[in-house]
Structure 1
């Protein structure tokens, strides 16, 4: 699957609510970009690993993104600003295809995920204050359920099972994994 297939499927697929935990606490608005680039005519998602010295989610695998700021016109602006800040990718190198359903985290955030195609010649450079490493994962590997593993854990006295994906930089899990799984499910729908 390449970016042309993604554009056709993503635009024609209905948005479905992600399977997530419900939490009624007030949440802070944030946005992430799910950046896609074709490598050898195959779509890949660009991911980041957070530095281990950060207070929140140290060392975790994530999509570029962050908190909404008052200077942001809308959440799409937040996602593009964070992509620029974290990976030095200018908004002019991104074609935003649309938005996935909002994802509410257990850590107090409502995440608005945006899907963006990166121009083929796009390069990036990590801001080492925010990104320890950046790397690509193929969409075909992420779409293969056999590559995911169940991760049971306890929350509020209940066992909850999330999905995890092993990468060369650590485990992809939590909200980022859920957002990616939701996206790949959308792409699997017949067009």
Structure 2
């Protein structure tokens, strides 16, 4: 599957609500970009690893993104701004296909995920204040259920199983994993 297939399937797919734990606390608005780029005519998602010294989610695998700021026109602006700040990818190199359903985290954020196709010749450079490493994972690998493993987790006194995906930079899990799995479901890929 490449970016052309994704563009056709994503635009035709209905938006389904992600499967998540209900939490009624007030959430802080944020946005992420799910950046897709073709490598050898196969779609890959660009992910980041956060530095271990950060206060929020140190060392975790994530999508480029962050908190909504008053200077942002809307959450799409937030996602594009953060992509530029974290990986030096200008908005002019991104074709935003649309938005996935909002995702509420257990840490107090409401995440608006946007799907963006990167120009095929896009290069990026990490801002090492925000990104320890950046890397690509193929959509084919992320769509294969055999590559995911259950992770036992306890929250609010309830035992739940989250899904995790091993990467060369650590475990992809939590909100980022849920957003990616929701995206692959919208593409009608087996996840």
Smaller-chain TM-score bracket? over 0.9
Separation in 1, partners of 2:61, 2:143: 17
Q: How much does 1:31 deviate?
A: 0.1
Separation in 1, partners of 2:125, 2:179: 24
What residue is the counterpart of 1:118 in the other structure? 118
**What is the Cα-based RMSD across aligned positions, in Å?**
1.0
- Is 1:19 paired with 2:19? yes
Q: How much does 1:111 deviate?
A: 0.1
Separation in 1, partners of 2:43, 2:146: 19
Separation in 2, partners of 1:109, 1:58: 16
Aligned length: 190
Q: Give unmatched runs, 5+ long, in structure 2.
A: none
What residue is the counterpart of 2:133 in the other structure? 133
What residue is the counterpart of 1:159 in the other structure? 159
TM-score after normalising by structure 1: 0.98
Separation in 1, partners of 2:83, 2:68: 13
Q: Alpha-carbon deviations, 1:13-34, whole Å to 9, x = none?
A: 0000000011000000000000
What residue is the counterpart of 1:91 in the other structure? 91
Q: How much does 1:166 deviate?
A: 0.1
Q: Secondary structure at the match of 2:187?
A: helix
Q: Alpha-carbon deviations, 1:30-62, whole Å to 9, x = none?
A: 000000000000000000000000011000000
Q: How much does 1:84 deviate?
A: 0.1
| Deviation beyond 6 Å, 4+ runs, structure 1 | none
Q: Secondary structure at the match of 2:81?
A: helix
Q: How much does 1:185 deviate?
A: 0.7
Q: How much does 1:69 deviate?
A: 0.1
Q: Alpha-carbon deviations, 1:121-140, whole Å to 9, x = none?
A: 00000000000000000000
Q: How much does 1:178 deviate?
A: 0.2
Q: Secondary structure at the match of 2:124?
A: coil
Separation in 1, partners of 2:105, 2:151: 16
TM-score after normalising by structure 2: 0.98
Separation in 2, partners of 1:156, 1:128: 34
Q: How much does 1:152 deviate?
A: 1.1
Q: How much does 1:104 deviate?
A: 0.1
Q: Secondary structure at the match of 1:128?
A: coil
Q: Give unmatched runs, 5+ long, in structure 1.
A: none
Q: Alpha-carbon deviations, 1:70-125, whole Å to 9, x = none?
A: 00000000000000000000000000000000000000000000000000000000
Q: How much does 1:188 deviate?
A: 1.3
Q: How much does 1:141 deviate?
A: 0.2
- Is 1:8 paired with 2:23? no
What residue is the counterpart of 1:43 in the other structure? 43
